[in-house]
Amino acid sequence: MGNVRPESRLVGSIALGTRFGARSKEMETRFGRQTILPQVGKQGQRRLNEAKVLVMGCGALGSHTATALLRAGVRKLILVDRDILELHNLHRVAVYTEADLGRPKAEALAERLQAVDSNAEIEVHVIHFGPREAETLVPKADLVVDGSDNMETRYLLNDACVKHGVPWIYTAVLETVGMMMAIVPGKGPCLRCLFPSPPPPGTLPTCATHGILGPVPKALGALQASLAIRLLATGEIPLGRLYQFDLWEMEFRVLSVSRRGDCPACGRGEYEFLREGSRTVALCGDAIHILPRTDAPVDLEELERRLAALGKVRRGDGVLFFDVEGISFTVFPDGRAIVKGTKDPTRAQALYDQYISR
């Protein structure tokens, strides 16, 4: 992984000694079947190879999208995810195996993708994606693709992308259905034109409460990647269209979405989700994500010793697991924790302060 900070790693790069001719031949061979498409061509393929895409979330949807983009020639990826891989994820994710269980998703995905294309440049961020992270990472990308599992993150993404003029693709999956809309700031409607205000926390159904058909994120990941490839290779993409898919019923619809002049984000330039908010975030799967009060790293070895007398504790690959009072904690080196066993953010925060306390 290299001698870099654990929350921000660059995995792999194009070898400095590679001769241009050899590299050009490799590119022609690897992407040749796609380059001969008139929709792509050599110029479009070159644009794909030079583009940088931020993948927000490395679970089911994000892992399928990232894999499709890498194989299509998008060799510069920024992977962002705050969670670890769990057994219940395996029925719907791409490339991960049982050997990756308990590992941060972004790190495991980066290694799997590097095995597909050793010349890829993959930047890894095992972090909570908050306003500061959005302001830092979004401007580095040519495009953002959606692999998140909550609307809070999507509203934040929308604000950051609109503010910095970075296109992004909204995609969501649940049960047997999925939906998707391409957003290009200044040229079409944004997420808040479609959904002006976020729903109250806890009111939307999740994969944990309503389930998900395994192939759905794979199908939507392929569709999202196709839109991304079209935009990156040609510079154009259908705007003002919300695509809806039901893979069980095999029903597909396209809805028109208009840009709103009074939209808080793309109309009035009010980026309220870029302001720092609560330290607690409700996640898919009845889990609460807790943010630390400081930026100082956590010594997981020392924390393990401190918690050993209070409950069941063990360290995994760069994380610490702690079970107490019917509550389970996954603690990361930056002080973040995912708390399971309660749906009450206030209680989750209190337990974090009691046992982790930063």
Q: Between residues 62 and 332, which one has the greater pLDDT?
A: 62
Residue 144 has pLDDT above 90, yes or no: yes
Please tell me the number of Cα atoms within 13 Å of 342 on its side-chain side: 23
- Considering the entire predicted model, what is its pTM? 0.79
Radius of gyration of the chain (CA): 20
Give the chain's domains with CATH numbers.
9-274 (3.40.50.720), 280-355 (3.30.310)
pLDDT at 3 over 60: no
Q: What is the pLDDT of residue 98?
A: 97
Compute the mean pLDDT over every residue in the chain, rounded to the nearest whole number. 88
Q: What confidence tier does 22 reach under pLDDT thresholds 50, 70, 90?
A: low
Categorize the per-residue pLDDT at 317 as very low, low, confident or very high, splitting at 50, 70 and 90: confident
User: What's the mean pLDDT in 193-221?
Assistant: 82
What number is the average pLDDT over the span 114-120? 95
Give the β-pairing of 320-324 and 312-315.
antiparallel
Q: Above 60 in pLDDT, residue 19?
A: no
Whole-angstrom Cα distance, residue 97 to residue 227?
28
Summarised one tens digit per residue, pLDDT across range 94-111 is: 999 999 999 999 999 999
pLDDT at 306: 85
Contact 4/10 with Cβ under 8 angstroms?
yes
